[in-house]
Amino acid sequence: MKLTDFINVECVKVGITSPVKKQALEELVDQLIAAKKVKKENKTKILKVLNERERKGSTGIGQGIAIPHASSDSIKNIVIAFGNSKQGVEFEALDGELVYIIFMILAPKESSGLHLKVLAKISRLLKDKYFRQALAGANSAEEVYRSIQGEDV
């Protein structure tokens, strides 16, 4: 399984502008809508499940990283959005720090096994500080995608 099976350049948002979690998630959902990975009419439902998941506990895992994820019956295939923020996003991260790297995973309700594998792979890749630095410092969607491709073995 490769992350590039679930993300492409159009799913990458460089320069998230919102300093708060709720709006940052909306920016990433809008990115997926623009990439035609989710339908515009499902935006409210998708944001609802993402925010419900966040209420259970922040997906800001520390070290400037958040991996929000949710399942929805309005999602047909697993899809990943990526965003970075130069100023940081208040994500209620476990370490209390701002988040600069966000990988958002949306999955169909019936794909929990694959959903967890994707989540685990992203978590594993993000342990590499050079990979994190490349993602956080990227200035274009293409640069982010190339970094992901380079690690996606």
Q: What proportion of the chain, given as a percentage, has pLDDT over 90?
A: 94
Torsion angles phi and psi, residue 71, rounded to 5: -110, 145
Tokens 């410092």 correspond to: 137
3-151: which CATH number, 2.60.120.200, 3.40.930.10, 3.30.930.10, 3.40.640.10? Answer: 3.40.930.10
pLDDT digit string, tens, across residues 5-34: 999 999 999 999 999 999 999 999 999 999
pLDDT digit string, tens, across residues 99-114: 999 999 999 998 878 9
Q: How far is CA 125 from the centre of its chain?
A: 13
Q: What is the residue extent of each domain of the chain?
A: 3-151
